Amino acid sequence: MRLKFKVQQYQTDAADAVCDAFEGQPNQGAAAYLRDMGTLPARGGMGALFGAGDLQQGMEEGYANAPVRLTESELLSNIRRVERRSQLDESETTCRDMAGIACHLDVEMETGTGKTYVYTKTMLELNRRYGWCKFIVVVPSVAIREGVKKSLESTEQHFFEQYGKRVNAFIYDSDRLNELDSFAQSSDVSCMIINMQAFNTSMKEGAKNKASRIIFDERDDFGSRRPIDVIAAMRPIVILDEPQKMGKRGSATQKGIALFKPLFVLGYSATHRERHDLVYSLDALDAYNQRLVKRIEVKGFKLKNMRGTDAYLFLRQILVTNNRPPVAVIEYKRMSASGRVGKATGRFEEGDSIYDVSGSTRLEAYRGYQIAGGNDGVVPGVDGRPGHVRFLNGVEIEEGTVYNDSALEDMQRVQIRETIRSHLEKEQALFRRGIKCLSLFFIDEVAKYRDVTGNGATVGYGKVFEEEYAAAVADRLAHPTTDDLADPSYLEYLRRDTAHQVHDGYFSIDKKGHTVESKREKKAEAAEGIGINDDDARRGYDLILKDKERLLSLDEPVRFVFSHSALREGWDNPNIFQICTLKESGSETSKRQEVGRGMRLCVDQDGVRQDAQLLGPDEVQRVNVLTVIASESYETFVRDLQADIRGTLRERPQKVEADFFTGRTLEVEGEEVSFSAAESKAIYKYLIKNDFLDDADRPSDDFRAMVGEGKFQANAMRELPEGLGDEAHAKAIEALLRGVYDPHALDGMVQRAQEKVTENAIVQENFGRAEFKELWDRISRKHSYTVSFDDSELERKAVARIDRDLAVSRLQYTMTAGSQRDEGRREDLSSGRSFVAQRSETHDVDEASAPVAVTYDLVGEVASAAQVTRASAARILSAISPQVFSLYRVNPEEFIKRAGGLILSEKAAMVVEHVEYHETDRSYDTAIFTSRMPDDASKAYEASKNVQRFVFPDSQGERRFAEDLDAASEVVVYAKLPRAFQIPTPVGSYAPDWAIAFRKGSVRHVFFVAETKGTMDTMEISGVEKAKIACAERLFDEASTSDVRYHQVADYDDLLQWVGRLE
């Protein structure tokens, strides 16, 4: 198969953006120079440009790029014109971050849209227009290097038909320096490709390694010449493929590039980390909306009803900030109030305990997991090494890794099963279109797929895959569809190959056919091209990157590819329709990086791209759908993917529309200037009338010219309506318009910022009211209680209740699937709405009967949860049925929680009538009203009569209640009581919601403590909760000597009824 290529406008635009930046450059052809061939003693330089007839003995003609003849001003003018055409922010100066270069231009193209094609076209177009012919492509890895070479070969005939020329490309190898001579002496379009690892090692001038000596030394086998001088004399144009992976300015790679003495530098990436002069941008939104890439569908998995017996930990990252100790972000398991175990994420410093935050009922598995102190507990990474956290029990976890995930193997089998299912669902429809469907699995260890000890047998993931594939195909063949019966060719295709034949692993292979582990792959990556003999690794990369077309053929049985995670950025194939990451380490990989290998539009058996020109804009992303089988929940994956995409989008140039000035506030020479909606509309009309805006709604050349001549402000003062025609407004209007293209236009004009509220402050006016002081004096006293009941009766009822009602949850997973909306919008990415969840399914996990790893004090835990004695708990547990007691092994934590809760519920029904309260000599301090604002303050209600500035309601009903209290004339002051204010009861502490002081004479009971449940139906409240409320009523209404009353109310109207009639 040969891939078919065609001219596409967006790729032509990208090439033109670079070439047009040099408009006015004369085409001088290749510049000839005298090249030292080594027959004479070595000289310091490589010769000078010469005229005909100047050849000397020992010298030979070579060809270099002619110098850029444009002045810096002319070049900047060209770049700005291109940027304006591309609707990009305009450069202030030309970027010259390396000595001697004319400029450094960036081209931004989304993964899968053909950036290698574009810079190949750009080379040929630069040669056609200006005669430049020497290029060097720098790539970040051996894998990508081989992909570039393959792309140049694949597109050779396509470009020859357009330009009548070929790009003569070779891969730099220090063992084959004669290729540098061929590179130098050719006047054809020539390109040297070099990977970053070889590049960095080679460029360390003065280093003692072999590679460094070769490129910097005068070599006897190279005519006593320095190879670096041969390269530099050609003044090559350097193209950086994925420059964000090549270090920052000043890094070894950047210093090395400068030694090539490039004429100028071009950077191509989807995600530039450092910005230069950006002349073209096709970002993720552009590519998706123009139907140039696949639609993404996500299938995520969420485990439910997990055990808490394994001390699961995932060290996400270590945060380092100025003047504060490092903080570890750790994911752990936590038990909810209902007894369910789920995952939570928290921030921890030295001395913090995971056990303390593992739930109101602590998970025993985390006992002892306290972070060490002495600057040895949370240790940030340094020099590229990951940080770590050390616990006092000796456990140490590296940043980005998971510890003790007992459910991992179960989930990975589910992922493999769902990948096969998704593959088969798509494969039939694609097969009928002549399109080969491929799926890609990323794994983190070769040994988990193939036996690396010698026989190469399929193990681990591979064995699970074969089991699941055989079962899925058998089920598919047993239930043929109507289409299958009409055309059985697809079923024959399924029958043709065994489960073993349809998958293969793409790893480095040694000379005996054995797989090579990742450390060796990295060694090969570093050594490639600089003289180290590592043929096994090289053959592995050849297998991955040079046989892509073979995989596209329906005759090739392999449809599922297992690849090492290290190849995530080097391997892609247009017919990848499923990507599944099976990872044991919790390393944080960019979600865009995960999906990037499958974004390219697919091809059929003739190599024809299935794009919008062929299928139409409505059909192209129905055929081209990439399904990501995530290793986490749908919500988490989609949230992170949207954040990744949003973070790489270019800033769209501001448009000056009718509401552009609305709400904008500047300070002009000490005077505050702001604009209303009506004023903004009036200014917009003025700008349109005077041609100060172009067709793209940006400041026009006429506006810029008038600003440059210093005439705009006078014109605005003369023509704008009254109220806008003064000097301050004119200056503000000019500054805001200039700010569209000049980032410094608003310097010195400070825009007002919203006050950031960090504390829920006490409102002294309310807090100091006599009514609140009197109310607080009455309710702030702490109380104790005594209670008596019949233990034997409780135990008898508890046993019967547990046998009847106790059940625990089994491990399940929910698969949620959703996909991108038809149209991508930046605001949807920001709000998390660019994906739409479409369906979900819940399944039981066939969990192995694993022993409980944690030893529990079962009797003590149940006694604590039920608030009974150990002896009583022991008698209850020993009396329940064996069948019910066996549930303890299924889910120990939930068993303890639910057994304790059922006992407590029975106890609650017995104790209310027998509880007696006694006032103590201790009181609550008013300091409990001092609190910080929560991270999410979106639900805050700014109150007028509360003793604190904000109320944080738990429901809409509570918010309405607070609003009604503020509006009621009979209410003087109130307090939303903090959780720290609690009433002790025999069935657990209880925190009432509100304390309210009414205006004397307006109601019968001036002081009231209220509980707002939103319902008055006691059937909707649990027995324990009802008992707590009943105890609170008893405390305030009977035992208390104050005139404070308490009741549960539904809303404010209900409250008024109770304060009027309670006796």
- pLDDT tens digit sequence for 16-64: 999 999 999 999 888 877 666 654 444 444 444 444 444 344 567 789 9
Q: If pLDDT is split at 50, 70 and 90, which confidence band does 846 have?
A: low
Query: 894-933 b/e with 16+ CB inside 10 Å = b?
Result: bbbbbbbbbbbbbbbbbbbeebebeeeeeebeeeebebeb
Is position 819 within any domain? no
Reported confidence tier of residue 514, pLDDT bands at 50, 70, 90: very low
848, pLDDT greater than 90: no
pLDDT band for position 512 (cuts 50, 70, 90):
very low
Is 869 a member of any domain?
yes
Long-range contact pairs involving 723-731 (C-beta distance under 8 Å, separation at least 24):
723/679, 724/679, 724/682, 724/683, 728/668, 728/669, 728/671, 728/673, 729/673, 731/668, 731/669, 731/673
CA 33, distance to chain mean position in Å, is: 51
Q: From CA 1054, how far away is CA 835, in angstroms rounded?
A: 44
Whether residues 443 and 526 share a domain: the answer is yes
- What pLDDT score does 759 carry? 72
* 294 is a domain residue: no
Quick check: 209 pLDDT over 80? no
Picking from 403, 426, 455, the residue at the C-terminal end of a domain is 403
Distance CA(566)–CA(506), nearest Å, equals: 11
pLDDT digits (tens, 9 = 90+) for 74-113: 999 999 999 989 888 888 889 888 888 999 999 999 989 9
* Confidence category of residue 1012, pLDDT binned at 50, 70, 90: confident
Give the model's pLDDT for residue 49.
43
Provide the token pair at 59: 């010298």
* Length, in residues, of the chain: 1063
Listed range (403-412, 421-430, 714-723, 1045-1054) with the worst mean pLDDT: 403-412
Edge-to-edge order in the sheet of strand 994-998: 971-976, 994-998, 1007-1012, 1044-1049
| Structure confidence at residue 567 (pLDDT) | 55
Tell me what pLDDT residue 987 has.
84
Q: Which residue has the higher pLDDT, 262 or 532?
A: 262
Residue, of 105 and 740, whose pLDDT is higher: 105
Q: How much is the pLDDT for 633?
A: 85
pLDDT (mean) for 428-443: 94
pLDDT band of 618, cuts 50, 70, 90: very high
Q: How far apart are CA 1052 and CA 994, in angstroms?
A: 12
pLDDT band at 1040 (very low <50, low <70, confident <90, very high): low
- The residues near 524 (Cβ < 8 Å, ≥ 6 apart) are 142, 508, 534, 536, 537, 538, 540, 541
pLDDT tens for each residue of 965-981? 999 999 999 999 998 89
Q: Are residues 127 and 72 in the same domain?
A: yes
Res 1027: pLDDT: 85
CA dist., res. 1049 & res. 1057, Å (int): 9
- Give the Cβ contact number of residue 9 at 10 Å: 8
Helix (H, G, I), strand (E, B) or coil at 776: helix
Q: What is the pLDDT of residue 51?
A: 42
Q: In what order do the strands lie in the sheet with 812-820?
A: 503-506, 560-564, 438-443, 576-582, 625-629, 295-304, 812-820, 835-844
**Of residues 600 and 384, more confidently modeled:** 600
Shared domain check, 690 and 551: no
Between CA 3 and CA 10 the distance in angstroms is: 19
In a domain, 228, yes or no: yes
For the cut 80, the answer to whether the pLDDT of residue 984 exceeds it is yes
Q: What is the pLDDT of residue 654?
A: 75
Which percentage of the chain shows pLDDT scores above 70? 85
Angle between helices 1023-1034 and 892-911 (to 10 degrees): 40
In degrees, to the nearest 5, what angle opens at C-alpha 570 toward C-alphas 567 and 574?
115
199 and 267 share a domain?
yes
Give the pLDDT confidence of 999-1011 residue by residue, as tens digits: 988 888 788 888 8
Q: Poorest-confidence range of 136-140, 816-820, 941-945, 1055-1059?
A: 1055-1059
pLDDT score of 330 more than 70: yes
Q: Percent of the chain scored above 90 by pLDDT?
A: 41
CB atoms within 10 A of CB 208: 7
**Is residue 659 in a domain?**
no
Cβ atoms of 193 and 171 closer than 8 Å? yes
C-alpha closest to that of 836 among 647, 643, 642, 611:
642
> For the domain that residue 956 is a member of, what is the CATH number?
3.40.1350
Specify whether 354 is located in the same domain as 485: no
- The region that residue 247 occupies, defined by phi over 0 for left and psi between -120 and 50 for alpha, beta otherwise, is left
Q: What pairs with residue 917 in β-bridges?
A: 785
- Which of 289, 320, 348 terminates a domain? The answer is 289
| Assigned token pair, 247 | 């270090």
696 lies in the same domain as 595: no
Q: Does residue 521 share a domain with residue 501?
A: yes
- Per-chain mean pLDDT for the chain: 84
912: Cβ contacts below 8 Å, ≥ 6 apart:
1027, 1030, 1031, 1034
Phi and psi at 31, nearest 5°, equal -85, 120
Q: Tell the burial category of 88 from Cβ atoms under 10 Å away from its Cβ (0-12, 13-18, 19+).
A: buried
Q: What is the pLDDT of residue 530?
A: 32
| Domain range for 977 | 759-785+917-1061
Pick 390 or 649 by higher pLDDT. 390
Tell whether the model's pLDDT for residue 754 goes beyond 50.
no
Residue 13 scores a pLDDT above 70? yes
> Does 110 map to a domain?
yes
Name the residue among 90, 117, 95 with its Cα closest to residue 105. 95
Question: Is residue 135 very low, low, confident or very high in pLDDT (cuts 50, 70, 90)?
Answer: very high
Average pLDDT over residues 445-461: 79
Same domain? 518 vs 600: yes
Lowest mean pLDDT among 248-252, 412-416, 601-605, 666-670: 248-252
pLDDT digits (tens, 9 = 90+) for 784-815: 998 887 889 889 999 999 999 898 877 778 88
Query: In sequence order, which ranges of 501-633 are alpha helices (DSSP H)?
Result: 518-527, 535-545, 548-551, 591-596, 612-615, 620-623
With a cut of 50, say whether residue 522 has pLDDT above it.
no
Is there a domain that residue 637 lies in?
no
Name which residue leads in pLDDT, 517 or 1043: 1043
Burial (CB count <10 Å: 0-12, 13-18, 19+), residue 587: middle
pLDDT for the residue numbered 692: 92
Segment 528-543 shows an average pLDDT of 40
Assess whether pLDDT exceeds 80 at residue 758: no
| pLDDT of 766 | 93
pLDDT band of residue 1013 (cuts 50, 70, 90) is: low
The answer to whether the CB of 586 falls within 8 A of the CB of 256 is no
pLDDT, position 53: 44
| Angle, in degrees to the nearest 10, between helices 408-432 and 461-478 | 50
Would you place residue 510 in the very low, low, confident or very high pLDDT band (cuts 50, 70, 90)?
Answer: very low
Distance from chain centroid for Cα 379: 24
Mean pLDDT calculated for residue range 326-344: 86
Are residues 861 and 929 part of one domain? Answer: no
pLDDT level of residue 213 (50, 70, 90 thresholds): low
pLDDT score at 470: 96
> Does the pLDDT of residue 7 top 70, yes or no?
yes
Confidence (pLDDT) at 621: 95
pLDDT number for residue 1021: 62
Q: What is the per-residue pLDDT for 224?
A: 72
Q: Pick from 914, 936, 965: which residue ends a domain?
A: 914
For residues 475 and 545, state if they share a domain.
yes
pTM exceeds 0.75 for this model: no
Domain count, the chain: 6
Binning pLDDT at 50, 70 and 90, where does residue 465 land? very high
Query: What pLDDT sits at residue 29?
Result: 84
pLDDT band at 840 (very low <50, low <70, confident <90, very high): confident
| Mean pLDDT value across residues 679-686 | 92
Lowest mean pLDDT among 53-62, 471-480, 600-609, 654-663: 53-62
- In angstroms, the CA 701 to CA 692 distance is 8
529 in Cβ contact with 172 (< 8 Å): yes
CATH number for position 33: 3.40.50.300
Domain assignment present for residue 990? The answer is: yes
Q: Are residues 910 and 925 in the same domain?
A: no
More confident residue, 11 or 249: 11
Question: Three-state DSSP class for 951?
Answer: strand
Same-domain pairing of 796 and 780: no
